[in-house]
Every structure is written in C-alpha cells, then in structure tokens.
A = this chain, B = another copy of it.
C-alpha cells in the first residue's frame, strides 16, 4: 500500500444524543500531552487525583474509586462479573434497555436472575422494589439510576435500604447521571456505581469510572468462585492502582482526559453543575411543551441529562434524525425496543448543557418537524427563555 492517507477530517457534529456528548476543549488539550508509561510515578499521580475527584463526583468516602480500561459497558461488566456468582440469586429491577443488559450479563455469569420489571418510561416503584427484595432475599440487587433508553430517574435510596436489610449488595448503573445529576453514592447506600466518560464528564468514550464500597470489597474478597474475567477482576485492578503492580497497560491519554473532565466539575462545583443541568433541562421541556409535544416520562421522574419527548403522530422520527444529522450536523437519537419510533432521545449534558444549546436544539427540532408538516402550537424559544430567566432568579 503505497498510497497516502489524508488527515482525518471528521464532520463537526453537535452531539445532542445520549452520548458521546460534546467534549470540553480542555479535555482535547489534555489528550495531546505526552504519553507516560502505565507504571510511571506521574501516571500514578494522575490516578490518585482521579481517585479523589471521583470520590467528590460520586459523593462518596469510598477509597476504591477508579476507572476500568474500557467503555461504560465494561464498567457494567466489571460490576456484574465480580459480584454475580454462579447459582446465586441476583435481583434485577428493570425498566429499560440497560436494565435488561445487566440481566443478560448476570445470566452469562451463571447467576440465578430474578426480575422485577416496570414499564419502559415509568420509574421503578419504591414499595414494589422493597417488597420484591424482601421476598426474594437476593445476594445482589442491580438497577439503573438513570435509564439512558427511556430518560427515567429511578429512586436509589429505598432500593439500597431494602437490599441492605437482606444483606444484599447493590449495583447501580450511573452512566447517564454522573456529572449531571446527584448520584449520591454514600447517601443512597449504593455499593457499586459505574459510569462512562462520554456523557456528564465531557470526555471522549474510553474509560468506565467505578466506585466500590468497603462492604462490597469484603464480599468480593470472600468470593470463592473464580471471576471469569481476568481483565475486569477488581482485586487485580486494586493491586495495580493501589499497589502499583502491573496488571494491564492503562492508557495515560485516557486518564489525562478523565482527570481533566473531573477537574472541570470540581472547578464548577458539583451543586452548581447539577443546577445548570436542571435549569437547562427545564428550559428544554418548556420549549418542547410550548411547541405542542409531550414528554414521555412523567414530571418528577425525568433525567436532567437526557430528555425523551414523544414523537408527534404522523411524524417519521428516523427521517427527523437523518435530516438533522445530514443537513444540520446535529446528532440526536431515537427510542429502543418498545419505544422505537415513539420518542426522541435528546441529551443536554456535560459541556453541552448550555442555554444556547437548548435554544439551538429546540429551533432545529422545530424546523425538522415543520418540514414534515408539523404545526407548533406555540413559541418554543420564548417558553424556554422564560424558563431560563425564571430559573436564574
């Protein structure tokens, strides 16, 4: 092959899907800094900063705060593979695609998966969860705090309380909440929380931040069945990040990015960041409702990071997405499974969660809908601006 390859020239997308979201310029800058080795003292300075910053962003006093060298799904697999045991009862509380994925992973580990299922788009019911956990008395309880497939926020605290009553440990998927909503690991009682880098943290994909409680670590140490995954074995990873003994060749570049994404959150302040996400989400909803669309998820159960307006009757959502991507350079997503064709999934998260972006995506979505003959019932931009100024006061 003697041809030459031109530099990579990606289209400049405005990323308003469920992630990847827009990457902060400081994160790109960090990634261009020189690579150091995976056992270099400087690398471990960075991992210690990440340990501390993740403690802040997860709101936990846990010491085991680190990142798996894979995308968010590798965090899910690490959580499941280390704590689901063959033949042992694994309670899955599910109301979406990512809940189902946890169940699929647990079955692959040979666990006895028992399920409490709630309709996609509704939140898990605290009392139903409590009753289910008390009845089933599982070893592990797993649920999704922020369901990326539906835009639903699930209640964490009652699930964790019931789980601890029966001595189960709790896995919570925080992929779409970390850095945008109050994950509150310790206050909720979550034992293992994992996330990704490409949503609320404003980094490219590539790492899966994870935190593990001392209680869960004790459980892990007492485990006798081998963990099928060597790559995601938490005890080996702890020996690497804590004891500096070689496990795998972690990517300095990706850890630089994560450190920078987390530093941006610390500088903004976690509460201020949540408030920014809440305000921009509310402005988006005000605009959506003003143009006559309904939100799929009931008020009070919606994510601030990812919005799921219903597709109006007679509108082809795939065509809307295609038009926005190809003609306007804007990425949004559609629904999965039972929600296919029913909802849009529009992210307002991380670096991309700004008032300007809310107005932009409302305007663009409205334009795309109008192309298919949709007639807005009111002024989306005015409603969003109204909500924004109300939110500020």
Q: Are B10 and A248 in contact (CB under 8 A)?
A: no
Contact call A77/B253, Cβ cutoff below 8 A: no
Across the interface, do B5 and A267 meet the contact criterion of CB distance under 8 Å?
A: yes
Is there an interface contact between B31 and A252, defined as CB atoms closer than 8 Å? no
Is residue A263 within 8 Å, beta carbon to beta carbon, of the partner chain? yes
A32 to B42, CA, bound (A): 22
Q: Please measure, in the bound complex, the distance between the C-alpha atom of A9 and the C-alpha atom of B260, giving whole angstroms.
A: 12
* Complex contact A31–B253 (CB within 8 A): yes
| Whole-angstrom CA separation of A9 from B249 in the bound complex | 20
The answer to whether A77 and B230 touch (CB under 8 A), given A20-B252, A71-B250, A253-B206, is yes
The number of chain A residues with a CB under 8 A from chain B is 80
A382 at the interface (CB under 8 A from B): no
Question: What's the nearest-Cβ distance from chain B to residue A223, in Å?
Answer: 13
Asked whether B34 lies within 8 Å of A71 as measured between CB atoms, the reply is no
Interface segment, A102-110, A128-136, A291-299, A312-320? Answer: A102-110
Copies in the complex: 2
Residues of chain A in range 54-110 having any CB-CB distance to chain B below 8 Å: 56, 69-74, 76-77, 81, 101, 104-105, 107-109
- Residue contact B33 to A8, C-beta cutoff 8 Å: yes
Q: Is A239 an interface residue (CB 8 A)?
A: no
A22-30, A150-158, A362-370 - the one binding chain B: A22-30
Chain A positions near chain B (C-beta within 8 angstroms): 1-5, 7-13, 15, 17, 19-20, 23, 26, 28-38, 40, 42, 46, 49, 53, 56, 69-74, 76-77, 81, 101, 104-105, 107-109, 196, 198, 204-206, 226-232, 247-254, 256, 259-260, 263, 266-267, 269-270, 325, 331
List the 7 shortest-distance A-B pairs measured between CB atoms, nearest first: A5-B263, A228-B228, A204-B253, A1-B266, A205-B251, A206-B251, A73-B248
Could you list 24 examples of A-B contacts with CB < 8 Å?
Answer: A1-B270, A2-B269, A7-B30, A8-B30, A13-B35, A13-B40, A20-B37, A20-B38, A23-B35, A31-B31, A38-B205, A69-B206, A71-B248, A73-B231, A73-B248, A76-B231, A81-B229, A104-B230, A108-B229, A196-B249, A205-B253, A206-B254, A228-B229, A229-B229
